[in-house]
Structure 1
């Protein structure tokens, strides 16, 4: 299921105050937190199809409410049209373009002075593109760069050498090849020059208003906020840089009602199919305008929007990891307003409560509902709030696929060891991946009339027919599926995640060049449990080298990554499994193998209905008792609550003796289930 998140952030005058308050914090203004919140809400999103908007409340010029992401993007585009601030090393392609412009502008011997490898180490891609765009568009700047910033050797290296032929040793240091420091000095001069020109051109600048164009896919939004085209988290330096960009235009009033009405309008749009909708609201005061809160709440409820709100207080009597059932009498009016705006969850929803409790939250149970409202007094608390919004409310995480994923993962890891990261022979990855999903698809048909062929049998049949040198995985599945009353189709990432939530692992295909395969293998050799990101392997910079295809199995996902089973044996990565931040990193394509109800016999339909209800009932009983259940450690024979154990779905660690043991032998697998829930809630 796709997600559609709105973020409403207060940047009114009261947000200008310090956030230090004597706490161990670097300080600054609370307004800087709006960028951290925006980044935390969209971070680690695995699907580019997911959408987000961020509304700033309290501009001091132009419209009171503005598009935070669009405003930052516009300012960056003024600095460097069409470019996002990519902090990775300058590419050789960009450096070559710089050299060509400079050579044609008078720096004829630039290549003798500046080696491209040195330039790449000294200058970021963002800085290189910034300078290149200015050189190509501003002749006066180009002349300053060539005749003021660059040494004379860049204009006539050979002439200088000839003139000082007899005295070369004494002046050579003036005309040596550039070091990293030399390049950085030139680049810094140029960037400062460009920034001063931009500042002058922005004297009449106003923030961008909010419109239907304010909705972005989450990856583009993250790139704009972080200032780089990869998955690194937002740095404190970048947050300060962003505040510097927008600070001249904020610290106005607090038109919260206007902002809520606009957010409601955007979230009511029908262009996104069945998304899970979230509105995150952060403010330190009550509305400065007038409106009808009940009407706004009604619109949000009509569109199935979950509202999570956060009130910023400046008192010390705050419990930042507490969920409330009723508002406190001593709260400020702004806190009461946000509490009333927030959505509720039922305190009897034990799965939801288990996730909160596992993360250390306190939950009031005064009545039968809990508000998704938080009270914070320090920026560090915001991470907890954003984690709650992202991991518990959004459909992509623990609650959405909890029931089905536990059963699937237990099966893959415990019930059929022969298909856990099997080793391929030659180019038979297509057979390994196909046999895995075929076997699991049929295994889901409880009491299948024809039985379920084992993994090895399915794999051997495909290899016998298509060989060990590789084959088109989709063509093979198209041929094999009808033999077993199954179907297959190509799907996108959202459909693939939907299949996982329905307990169907899917085949994932991708292609890499020889050099990219080397990078891929080295990453997991160095980081077996690491998450591969675009900064680690950027296929967008690929040349025209030939690529080699590979097929693996997508078995699960969470808000941070996709989890895939490879066919290189258990010595690869994490016991044969590996993690990727999102589908775009490897340009993954997915094949779903499934059956329809019409494909089942009457006997199979009856068995499946009976078995499904039995499994669901058993699992729900286990979940309801999870927080109270205890387990006796087989090592020290002492008893602790299952929620206090640590480890994985296969191995647990006792909280008392710290010894490890198998968690799969616990009665009803409740200990293994707790291990799985713990990993989901992290």
Structure 2
């Protein structure tokens, strides 16, 4: 049976004209034939209200990520610290899983995370420093993107790395809001008006869903936080979010991976003709 992400990539290669550098960044599964979904078995987590949609981060990774223990930073023992490693490992694993047959396989989420923590420790880091060093190691690329681009990436069934910073007072408001309204949509007014924004603490999460009314993020504070570990925000401006797209192009693939890609292209072509 064809891998879901591989099938999407292949069908796009066969039926759409995409630039080489855009092949893996402009997937539009909504435009694909129904047979793709029947064959691929997309992994998603959703309820009747379509509150959460994840099609490329497998269920085991979701469970591990949401429940990863984090360490110290200001107000909460769960803010900052290793959140960068949790989020980066999730999007790295997801991006590499989209390669048809990756040479030497796809490193596990936990393995990637441990390597990042070994390199940077359990404290805040500059996320672009991590991406700049580690993307090439895994034959990946990254780009800082605006909210509209992040939304389009999510529409293409791919996750996005996101970061934000809050002061100690704002973190208290943040935590109180989701404790009171687990499925609520955070607005800027919910963080209160504070005279001091000292001791800001950075945090990294994974954007997993976008619609016209809110953004949904996967956090790593356990399932007791917000809506089973996921939380909603009205838009980018609420938390002054920064977004990062992690991807690869055909130029990053090895010969064996390209051959596997070509072989599967032929297989898909036979199935749809």
User: Structure 1 length as normaliser, TM-score?
Assistant: 0.30
In structure 2, which of residues 160, 173, 176 is the aligned counterpart of residue 522 of structure 1? Answer: 176
Q: Which residue of 2 aligns with 1:495?
A: 149
Q: Distance in 1 between matches of 2:237 and 2:69?
A: 25
SS in 2 for 1:446: coil
2:210 is matched with 557
SS at match of 1:510: strand
Q: Which ranges of structure 1 fall in alignment gaps of 5 or more residues?
A: 1-399, 621-682
Residues 497 and 606 (structure 1 numbering): CA distance in 2 closer, same or farther, change over 3 Å? farther
Q: Could you give the per-residue CA deviations for residues 483-506 of structure 1, whole angstroms, max 9, x where no partner exists?
A: 111111211111212322333311
1:542 shift after superposition = 5.8
- State the shift of 1:600 in Å: 0.9
Distance 1:413 1:601, change over 3 A: closer
Aligned residue in 2 for 1:221: none
In the alignment, structure 1 residue 583 sits paired with structure 2 residue 236: yes
Aligned length: 219
CA contact 1:418–1:455 (8 Å) conserved in 2: no
- After the TM superposition, which residues 165-244 of structure 1 pair with which residues of structure 2 at under 5 Å, given as runs? none
- CA 1:465–1:414 in structure 2 vs 1: closer, same or farther (change >3 Å)? closer
Q: Does 1:483 align with 2:128?
A: no
The match for 2:16 is none
Q: Within 2, Cα distance between the matches of 1:556 and 1:616?
A: 31
Answering whether residue 100 of structure 2 is matched by residue 455 of structure 1, we say no
Separation in 1 of the partners of 2:244 and 2:256?
Answer: 28
Where 2:57 maps in the other structure, the secondary structure is helix
Report the counterpart of residue 422 of structure 1 in structure 2: 67
Moved over 6 A (4+): 612-618
Residues 532 and 614 from structure 1, CA distance in 2 versus in 1: closer, same or farther, beyond 3 angstroms?
Answer: farther
Partner deviation per Cα, 1:609-643 (whole Å, 9 max, x = no partner): 5657978999x9xxxxxxxxxxxxxxxxxxxxxxx
Confirm or deny: 8 A CA contact 2:151 2:210 kept in the other structure: yes
Q: Quote how far apart the aligned CAs of 1:450 are.
A: 2.4
**In structure 1, distance between residues paired with 2:265 and 2:85:** 30
Q: Distance in 1 between matches of 2:162 and 2:242?
A: 6
Q: Is the 8 A contact 2:145 2:245 kept in 1?
A: yes
User: CA, structure 1 residues 413+599, in 2 after alignment: closer, same or farther (shift >3 Å)?
Assistant: closer
Are residues 610 and 516 of structure 1, via their aligned partners in 2, closer, same or farther at CA, if it must alter by over 3 Å? farther
State the shift of 1:554 in Å.
0.7
Q: What CA deviation, in whole Å up to 9, does each residue of 1:569-599 have, x standing for no partner? A: 1111111111111111100001111111100
For the structure 1 residues 445 and 419, does the alpha-carbon distance in structure 2 shift closer, same or farther, using more than 3 Å as the test?
A: farther
Aligned 8 A contact 1:553 1:566 in 2: yes
Q: Which digits, 9 at most, give the CA deviation of each residue in 1:507-566, with x for residues without a partner?
A: 101010111101100111111111112232257x66442311101111121122111111
Q: Map of 1:208-287 to 2, 5 A cutoff?
A: none
Supply the distance in 2 between the matched residues of 1:463 and 1:534 (Cα, whole angstroms): 32
| Cα gap change, 1:583 to 1:448, in 2 (>3 Å) | same
Distance 1:416 1:512, change over 3 A: closer
Q: Using a 3 Å threshold, how does the CA distance of structure 1 residues 489 and 443 change in structure 2: closer, same or farther? A: same
Q: Give the equivalent residue in structure 1 for 2:166.
A: 512
Greater relative CO (CA pairs within 8 A, separation 6+)? 2
How far has the Cα of 1:605 moved from its partner? Answer: 2.8
Change (3 A) 1:483 1:513: same
- Corresponding residue of 2:87: 433
2:122 to 463, 468, 475: 468
The CA deviation at 1:420 is 4.2
**Cα shift at 1:407:** 5.0
User: What is the deviation of 1:412?
Assistant: 3.0
1:617–1:415 distance in 2 versus 1, CA, 3 Å: farther
| 1:133-144 matched pairs, under 5 angstroms | none
Q: Does 1:535 align with 2:189?
A: yes
Normalised to the residue count of structure 2, the TM-score between the two structures is 0.71
Deviation for aligned residue 1:474: 1.5
Per the alignment, residue 249 of structure 2 pairs with 596
Structure 1 position 415, deviation (Å): 5.3
CA contact (8 A) 1:422 1:432 kept: no
Structure 1 residues 342-357: aligned runs within 5 Å: none
Q: Report the Cα distance in structure 2 between the residues aligned to 1:586 and 1:466, rounded to whole angstroms.
A: 25
Contact in 2 for aligned 1:419/1:436 (Cα 8 Å): no
1:71-118 deviations in whole A, cap 9, x for unaligned? xxxxxxxxxxxxxxxxxxxxxxxxxxxxxxxxxxxxxxxxxxxxxxxx
Q: Is the 8 A contact 2:101 2:257 kept in 1?
A: yes
Whether the 8 Å CA contact 2:55–2:158 is kept in 1: the answer is: no
